[in-house]
Structure 1
């Protein structure tokens, strides 16, 4: 399996970003790590190996970037307004740097976004904020409400990065064109977040698959079963 390391200076973040890329062709998939995970986490925990066949067959090319969790929602040393502002800059990096890069390299006009646990939040937020850029959304054990990280503070940056708040009022037509899979499990600590998001999508008439797996918890073994299944839905 072809693997490449990239490091570049992001003008939107004013710092360097690191990333691993797997494969040389196929549908571009931006895959986020879990809470405070680094760009190599999905490789280290075997999630990339679980979809090795798709990569080697040239069906997908997977981009694994760093997040800024330790400078955004998880940074208790700064004001919640600064956490939200920093996250808005991260979103701009994804929109103006990483997504265009992936689309240019693969020659495909949209991306898929995916992630486990808090990586599911990053994926969902990008998909619902920028549905014109996204063809597929796959979350595994995701959580989608970041108000738990804002210490009761609320402003527009928080609203527009919190899917359960802005999605009900969004009428962006491309929302109805995304292939959405919300993966969770019977004993997942984030199951209720997935049910809540599914209810929002149902009220808007947005087709999606709420996949609740039996006899599993919030952990890598079930995510490694889910991810190849979900990638198989890419047309």
Structure 2
């Protein structure tokens, strides 16, 4: 009797440490051992393990096993920032603390583990917002940005989606909403840096965030930033779509 060949095991590692930026423990899952590192943000109020549970990691198995990509799935603090009951000015401050955690703790960790000169940042839904926002704000850190099914102005109420700051607006909010700050980018050095990034936006034709994506795409074009906008049929705002998107765009 001839036995079937064993499936190649995908390397999977769990990490946890106390974050000084957030003053709490944060968790992470790492898939693979080498290749282009991908920082993957979870969806709205989701967690570091959800991408695995939704088979999105499985959709990238072959590339992970072959050493083409290494995926770092971080946790979120959305329930403590955008979706908390704290005053709006404190919500954005908590988000900035989360950004500091990513920049000062997660990115150095990735660079220590992976010597690639490339770094992709991505996410789905609110995770796509996180990816695009941090990528455009810190263009020397990332080489590729992929935003899937994301909303780029959290201050604008939409059907079924509220203004996450209850009408409050300040400078911190302005500089963390791509559809606000991107049209105003005029610094030549910053523009040069952003233009080097491979930027992809993906959205469904029936998604509530379609106009947000079209607005950001128009703003990027206006300031001369090359990018790609892909519009899928239907809403395309579910894990079964994201499983296909990661195969095409990451």
TM-score, L = length of structure 2: 0.89
**Is the CA contact 1:184–1:191 (under 8 Å) kept in the aligned structure 2?**
yes
Residue of structure 1 in register with 2:57 after alignment = 48
Give the unaligned 5+ runs of structure 1: none
Q: Could you tell me which of 58, 81, 89 is aligned with 1:81?
A: 89
1:138-153 alignment, distance < 5 Å: 138-147=146-155, 148-153=163-168
Q: Are residue 32 (structure 1) and residue 47 (structure 2) matched?
A: no
1:21-170 alignment, distance < 5 Å: 21-75=30-84, 77-147=85-155, 148-170=163-185
Return the offset for 1:217: 2.9
TM-score, L = length of structure 1: 0.94
**Is the CA contact 1:159–1:166 (under 8 Å) kept in the aligned structure 2?**
yes
- Deviation string 1:145-169 (CA, Å, 9 cap, x unpaired) is 1212111111122112111111222
Distance (Å, rounded) in 1 between the aligned partners of 2:203 and 2:12: 29
Instruction: Compare the two structures and name the one with the higher helix fraction.
Output: 1
**Is the CA contact 1:114–1:123 (under 8 Å) kept in the aligned structure 2?**
yes
RMSD, aligned CA: 1.1
Give the unaligned 5+ runs of structure 2: 1-9, 156-162
Q: Are residue 8 (structure 1) and residue 17 (structure 2) matched?
A: yes
Stretches of 4+ moved more than 4 A in 1?
Answer: none
Distance (Å, rounded) in 2 between the aligned partners of 1:229 and 1:87: 30
Larger Rg: 2
Deviates more, 1:152-161 or 1:127-136: 152-161
Number of aligned residue pairs: 230
